[in-house]
Amino acid sequence: MTVRPMTPQAEGAPRAVQGHGVAATWWYTFGSVVMFVAMYLSIWAVAVLAVGTWPARIAYAAAALVWTVAFVALGIAYRHAERLRELRIGWTRAGLIAIGALAAGGVSMAVGALTPFAALSLVLVCLLPWPRGIRARVTALCTILIVPLAWIDAGRVAPQDDDVQAVTAWFMLLAFAVVLPFTVVSMLWWWDIVRELDRARAAEARLAATQERLRLAGDVHDLQGHHLQVIALQLELAERLLHDDPGAALPHLRAAQRSVDDARSGTRELATRFRGVPLPDELANAADLLRAAGLRVELRVSPDAADAPQEVLGPVVRESTTNILKHGGGRSATLSLDRGDRQGAWLFRALNDVPADAGAAESGAAESGAAAGSEASGSGLSGMAERVAQAGGSLRAAARGRTFELVAEVPHGQAQGALA
């Protein structure tokens, strides 16, 4: 056993970020453990209140409170603990265990029994980040040691001349002392399983993304490699003919130009195919990006938004997010995707505030940026308006005072028409 400072480096590899569902599972699990521990302490509290003196009652309450604080602190630390090949106890954990063990001793002295000290101390030991399989062995060994302590306590509380009551008292003391650590260990085992499943899910997602990138890289290599090789051969042949027969070199130059156009067209089709992100995810990513830029974002998405034409509205979402970041300068934004007024139509709105001195300049900046973007790559607001119009919809953007709004309305099921 090694004792090291309780730092992220000492605890192991970098911690994986846990999702909201996993965090909720942890708090539900740990909350159940805390409630069970509180019930165990309450049972002994009833005994102290029934037969104990006031000093014993006060000592029991103080010791139980201190132990509970140490227990909760160790439990919260266990949430992010990593299981390693050897047990590593930080100074903070060591101090909490020492304080908790002293408090458990105070509980035992207040109730006049040894089993509470053993059971409560075992619970603290179980909260250490034991290597796989070690916690069960430690729990089993400590449980075996609890058996004679429960027998000693039973001899104290039960009548000496009544064997039945002695056995009953021993059984109850043993059950309470054993069930507490067993319950805590079971819930920690459940949490370990949930955490490993979450890590497996995250690893699977990263693997899928890596495979997709490799597939994209392979497609780009095959596409561009073929065209570049053809272009190189055509230019080399044109270079050889240029001095002796310029007329014969011209068709090869034109063929090379057509190959360049084919390569550009193929690249655009490939990029379009790999941009097929569902609209709910596209909107969630846009909201996260705006929040990362310091904006307050309100996101409203229809439950059936996955059925909306992603090929048309996806670029609109990306372009509107870019405009908010580049030209907005405000503090809040609203993104929404819902059914429009027309039957079967989808309505996307992007609303953001602008500084007080922006005024109408916002609209001009956005439109000029859109025009430039449209001429350069067909992805500006002008290009998006044309794409939406081809799908039978409409797109409008206007600044009103300190608010800039972009609205796109697209009929349902018109994506293919926009792409044709």
pLDDT in tens, 325-349: 876 667 889 999 988 766 668 899 9
Q: Report the distance separating Cα 110 and Cα 45, nearest Å.
A: 10
Say if residue 419's pLDDT is above 60: no
Contact 150, 115 (CB under 8 A): yes
Final residue of a structural domain among 154, 178, 204: 204
Q: Report the distance separating Cα 163 and Cα 304, nearest Å.
A: 70
CATH of the domain at 240: 1.20.5
Clarify whether residues 198 and 222 are in a common domain. no
Q: Report the distance separating Cα 154 and Cα 159, nearest Å.
A: 9
DSSP 217-241: HHHHHHHHHHHHHHHHHHHHHHHHH
Q: Report the distance separating Cα 271 and Cα 277, nearest Å.
A: 12
**Of 168, 19, 44, 200, nearest in space to 112 by CA:** 44
Clarify whether residues 76 and 91 are in a common domain. yes
Which two three-digit tokens encode residue 228?
């570049």
Q: How many domains does the chain have?
A: 3
Amino acid in position 414: Q
Clarify whether residues 268 and 285 are in a common domain. no
CATH of the domain at 345: 3.30.565.10
Q: Report the distance separating Cα 228 and Cα 411, nearest Å.
A: 40
List Cα–Cα distances, 299 to 287, 294, 337, 366, in angstroms: 7, 15, 9, 22
Of the chain, the percentage scoring pLDDT greater than 90 comes to 8
Clarify whether residues 356 and 257 are in a common domain. no
Amino acid in position 401: G
Final residue of a structural domain among 150, 185, 204: 204
Clarify whether residues 285 and 265 are in a common domain. no
Which two three-digit tokens encode residue 282?
């596209």
Clarify whether residues 242 and 193 are in a common domain. no
- Lowest mean per-residue pLDDT among 32-46, 311-325, 350-364: 350-364
As a whole number, mean pLDDT of residues 383-404 equals: 84
Residue 300 exposure: Cα atoms within 13 Å on the Cβ side: 11
Clarify whether residues 319 and 228 are in a common domain. no
Contact 58, 110 (CB under 8 A): no
Of all helices (H) and strands (E), which one includes residue 301? strand 296-301
List Cα–Cα distances, 197 to 16, 27, 208, 350, in angstroms: 12, 17, 16, 37
Clarify whether residues 232 and 367 are in a common domain. no
- 360 phi and psi, to 5 degrees? -70, -15
Clarify whether residues 176 and 264 are in a common domain. no
| Distance, CA of 313 to chain centre | 26
Final residue of a structural domain among 160, 180, 204: 204
State residue 1's pLDDT score: 39
Q: Report the distance separating Cα 280 and Cα 87, nearest Å.
A: 44
pLDDT in tens, 211-256: 767 777 777 777 777 778 888 888 888 888 888 888 888 888 888 8
pLDDT in tens, 52-95: 788 888 999 999 999 999 999 988 888 877 655 566 777 888 89
Mean pLDDT of the chain: 76
pLDDT in tens, 113-161: 888 888 888 888 888 888 777 887 888 887 787 777 777 776 666 555 5
Contact 87, 78 (CB under 8 A): no
Say if residue 417's pLDDT is above 60: no
Residues 6+ away with beta carbon under 8 Å from 86: 1, 2, 131
Helix, strand and coil percent figures for the chain, each rounded to 5: 70, 10, 20
* Residue 76, domain extent: 2-204
Clarify whether residues 340 and 388 are in a common domain. yes
**Across the chain, how many H-helices and E-strands are there?**
13, 7
State residue 81's pLDDT score: 72
Contact 107, 63 (CB under 8 A): yes
Amino acid in position 149: L
Clarify whether residues 50 and 133 are in a common domain. yes
Clarify whether residues 239 and 285 are in a common domain. no
